[in-house]
Amino acid sequence: MPNFAVYADSFANPPRTLVEIDRDVTDEARQLRLVRRRTVTYVPHEQRAQIRFLYEKYRRKRLIECYIDDFESHVYFPRELRLLFLHTGFEIEDFFGDYNRQPLRATSQLMIMIGRKQDG
């Protein structure tokens, strides 16, 4: 599900981008730490999310490498996904907001749809 609070900031003039720490992982055996930060900008007229990942790698608390990875994705809305399933001949069996089969809510981070191909 899109994070609309983050997307709303991209409408500001000038656009603001929130930088979030997405992952912070340490490998004690190798004395390595990887911090991944993320920015998200929503392009509403194209229904697209522009995501920038900023990586920092540390060894013994010293920065040894940093790099950026850009990613773009289409933002699907629940009704749109339902229509895509139905239009391509699938019967919708269930719809969830996470892998624990919790209902889809406005705060869900995932949108999981289960379908079965209709005969004929």
Give per-residue pLDDT as tens, 19-47.
999 999 999 999 999 999 999 888 888 99
Report how far residue 95's alpha carbon sits from residue 115's, in angstroms, rounded to the nearest whole number: 9
Q: Would you say 116 and 93 are in contact if contact means Cβ atoms under 8 Å apart?
A: yes
pLDDT of residue 106: 87
Report pTM.
0.67
Element (H, E) at 5: helix 4-9
Q: With 70 as the cut, is the pLDDT of residue 103 above it?
A: yes
Q: Would you say 80 and 95 are in contact if contact means Cβ atoms under 8 Å apart?
A: no
pLDDT digits (tens, 9 = 90+) for 50-69: 999 999 999 999 999 999 99
CA 65 from chain centre, in angstroms, equals: 24
Higher-pLDDT residue of 4 and 30 is 30
Average pLDDT of the chain is 89
In this prediction, residue 17 has a pLDDT band, given cuts at 50, 70 and 90, of confident
Integer CA distances (angstroms), 24 to 40, 54, 59, 81, 88, in order: 18, 12, 13, 32, 40
